[in-house]
Structure 1
Amino acid sequence: MLSIQNISASYGDHQVLKGASLEVRPGDIHGVLGMNGAGKTTFFEAIYGRVPRLAGDCTLEGRPLQRSDISYLETESFFYPMLTGKEHLRLCAVSNPGFEIEGWNKLFHLPLNQLADTYSSGMKQKLALMGALATGRKVLILDEPFNGMDLESSEVLYQVLIHLRNQGRYILLSSHIMETLTNTCDAISHLQGGIFIRTYPKEAFPQMQAQIRASLKDKIGDSLEGL
Structure 2
Amino acid sequence: MLKVENLIAGYYKSTPVLEGVNMDLPNGQVHGIVGANGSGKTTLLQCIHGTIKKVQGEILYNGMPIKREDVSFLETDNYFYKRITGKEYLQLFGAFNKDFDVLGWNALFSLPLDKMVDDYSTGMKKKIAFLSVLSFNTPIVILDEPFNGIDMETVQLIKVIIKKLRASGLTVVVTSHILESLLNICDTISYVKGKKIEATFYPPDFASIESRVFDIDSNGGGVIVDKLLKLK
TM-score range, shorter chain: over 0.9
Map Cα deviations across residues 134-160 of structure 1 (whole Å, 9 max, x no partner). Answer: 111111111111122211111111111
Contact 1:139–1:171 under 8 Å retained in 2: yes
CA shift for structure 1 position 209:
2.5
What is residue 199 of structure 1 aligned with on the other side?
200
1:95 has 2:96 as partner: yes
Give the distance between the partners of 1:32 and 1:63, measured in 2 at CA: 23
1:112 has 2:113 as partner: yes
Give the distance between the partners of 2:176 and 2:109, measured in 1 at CA: 22
CA shift for structure 1 position 180:
1.9
1:7 has 2:26 as partner: no
TM-score by length of 1: 0.93
Give the distance between the partners of 1:93 and 1:14, measured in 2 at CA: 39
Contact 1:93–1:136 under 8 Å retained in 2: no
Report SS of the residue matched to 1:14: coil
Contact 2:33–2:190 under 8 Å retained in 1: yes
Alignment of 1:27-38 (within 5 A): 27-38=28-39
Give the distance between the partners of 2:177 and 2:20, measured in 1 at CA: 20
The AA in structure 1 aligned to 2:11 is Y
TM-score by length of 2: 0.91
CA shift for structure 1 position 226:
5.8
Q: Percent same amino acid among aligned pairs?
A: 37
Give the distance between the partners of 2:60 and 2:112, measured in 1 at CA: 38
Contact 1:140–1:169 under 8 Å retained in 2: yes
The AA in structure 1 aligned to 2:9 is A
What is residue 86 of structure 2 aligned with on the other side?
85
Gaps of 5+ in 2: none
Give the distance between the partners of 1:77 and 1:145, measured in 2 at CA: 11
What is residue 162 of structure 1 aligned with on the other side?
163
Give the distance between the partners of 2:145 and 2:135, measured in 1 at CA: 20
Q: Count residues in correspondence.
A: 226
Give the distance between the partners of 2:224 and 2:11, measured in 1 at CA: 29
CA shift for structure 1 position 222:
5.5
Report SS of the residue matched to 2:55: strand
Give the distance between the partners of 2:178 and 2:122, measured in 1 at CA: 21
Map Cα deviations across residues 56-92 of structure 1 (whole Å, 9 max, x no partner). Answer: 1111112111111111101111211132211211211
Runs of 4+ in 1 over 6 A off after TM superposition: none
Per the alignment, do residues 50 and 110 of structure 1 end up closer, same or farther by CA in structure 2, a change over 3 Å counting? same
The AA in structure 2 aligned to 1:114 is K
Contact 1:74–1:143 under 8 Å retained in 2: yes
Query: What's the Cα RMSD here?
Result: 1.6
Report SS of the residue matched to 2:204: helix
What is residue 76 of structure 1 aligned with on the other side?
77
Contact 2:126–2:149 under 8 Å retained in 1: no
CA shift for structure 1 position 173:
0.4
